[in-house]
A and B are shown apart, each in its own frame.
Chain A
């Protein structure tokens, strides 16, 4: 017993000793798939290399839907972590209003984020009443179609160059024993894929009007009718992909069991981990090959208010580290996302990332759905589309009627 006590006393003394120089900063995030974990390890490495602080990894498995409630309840419950990842947009709105998150404007000004962050809308999404509350770390876009070259070869087809060709190839793929399209069972994947159809087949303006302005007339209109028709086509194609997680669905494409998948550019990290080469083993079609536009959502780190100067100092240091050029390059190459600053060199980027960078440079960008919708609206959309894509008894018209209802009541 006494041995125990001395041991504990020794360890506490040790902790107190190190704390004088550097703080342990707990960072929570939901990056747990192979590619994501490799990317976040880059953050930890850079943070520990450039500062004296220690990165304590607090990964939460199960995706944002599982992780966000855990993070929020820890912050509200008075046990905040050092920093946490959210998708920037309206997810943290109320936490900021309640004064639970730190104002990082000082760091942002010292580092000149206003001048380097590109596109500026990323920083706007972090800004509330002129103060900056988060550090954007990457740009993620949803509007990508990933295709397995080998799957099409096996079915004796050319790799499609746009959505319509892909739909037309569906029956031939199924005959060859390949699931035409992979879709995981988690609700956010269903609504995400639908939003992509809407942004590309309908066009970015349609999405902006409906989600941004709550235009119910537009939601009931002909443009959306076509989108719902495409969604019904997609429902046919995803029959038989019995997986849950997005990376399992991507894996169906990687292993050529499925023809393709609509998924954000983070899927690229999975292809990279599997050793696949863009253009040879797989093909990526930004904007589904129809409308080359990318949304500029992404991930950002927020910093809860903590009553400990050591930790606050570590938070400042982390915020600065996240945006410095080397970190940005190392992280984004692994993650498959685009850097938030235009002045970094992405020589090592692969074909797909280069396509993304070109589109970004050309200015064909649109806001991310998370910036326009609250989580409540997103959750309602999740419910609608996960049901639509899994249950063939719901007609496209019925689904559209429910969609109009959600849009009319959104805030």
Chain B
């Protein structure tokens, strides 16, 4: 599962499994039945429709659905990783940035259904390859995505098939994109009658400048008129021409019937010639209509004979309607993978993920619409899409029984799977030696079934979703949830405390409740060691960047304490090598510092300032500093420079640089307004938050 924030962790987990596999493979092959080695269900463009039909049935019957996503990256720059000094709103902005920039390339969906007769779960793991290919619409920029080199390398390490993804991946439209495309379609059709009215005026605009054009137009006029006269003669029962004659005159025209009317197909003309023909038809023939019909994949131009003006209008209307219908069908087809999300959403099943806040953000961004700018607005969006989400990582960390089972080991997906579901992980099967408390999971792929299936393809979305589901099923069993009772899992009292609670950031233990939108920090034993650390008070924090690289936290602290006193600096934390957070002991010191800094910058040539303790900090003249709210703004920016100092400069110079700088100048009033802005968050979060100082 790539969405685990720390990639290093995942790699470590991988090396462990690598060494483990050879150890237990002999035993597994010994127990394996032939059926257990079948492949996971891979779904691509070619088998999507049929798979979707099956999936609908499986999801409808399921008790819960486990999901997992593989993305092209996690953080768009190193400083966008999760930090101790990130407030809840900043954490959300970082997740939002990730969901906006990176693409989802694989989507695992695994419905689990309890079979009371077999006393076992039936799982249907699906592994969807998806790719943001643009199928409809004109605007390409929204489809562009970012790749984090290390993540791509990571996917490659697990044999991810990039060719399959790009060539065969299923495309999709979000609900918002669909609405846009439909709007475009309908507005263009609304204006079309207008255009046809002004065509007579437009014809003048088609310039007949070239001699060749004039000749061509004359020739076409004659040919069409011949064909037209022929038609009338036949109709009036007049004498027919000899076949040879008609062949000569109409050799480039092929007479066909279009909606019971005689018509000519225009083949082998250039687009300019077609435009000229169109103008000739519209100018010189009242009973002929020039229309464009789509012939499966390509467009075909035809000229149709109509009996009357009324008939012509009728024909045009018919043609327009069929165009509209076709476009609608194209849009319907372009929705693609979103049908799966719509299915999960409409069935209101319990969605199970492992550390899935980022996954859910990706789903909302890719399949619903643009993400709102704040966590408060985002939470109802999630609730509307998925009313019940459970995060197995929360479950494992928050529940005492499960923590005991986990023996306080890492709650990474692979590790948790190996500990909680050894009977599945090892492929031995739940019979015989397995403990009574283990839940049996039977896997079904198409017509093949196995009670000890294990593809072992870790970091493949479909298999990861399967593991997540198994962990959840096993956890429910440990919690004493009775699957056989007819009550739904979403109504289970024992789960109520965990449903819709997600880790905003796993490393800091920040949890968001999707029902209420409230945030809190986990107070489990895991995080207890942090309580001795100084608390993070956001109004006391100043962010400094762009100083010379030789300056380390110690030097910065020294120069600050020389001015503001020994106890003035509570902690210093490096974002990257170009920037630090400094927490002062009092919020006033933030404004004092910013004021002093801007004063010194104004008089930087004065001799006394060379001896000032800040001179080291300001050396080079590129040092910038700002309060915490500016940090939030920098995180909000769509720009992603690798180094924080470059990012801060780009954001500040380009957008509201003047505003920010002047904020730094008007320090007194600004300090007040600051505390007013974030008093709510500061009170709720700042007080509780623990901190690791450097």
To the question of whether A and B form a pair in one complex, the answer is no
Residues of chain B whose beta carbon lies under 8 Å from any beta carbon of chain A:
none
**Residues of chain A having any CB pair with chain B under 8 Å:** none
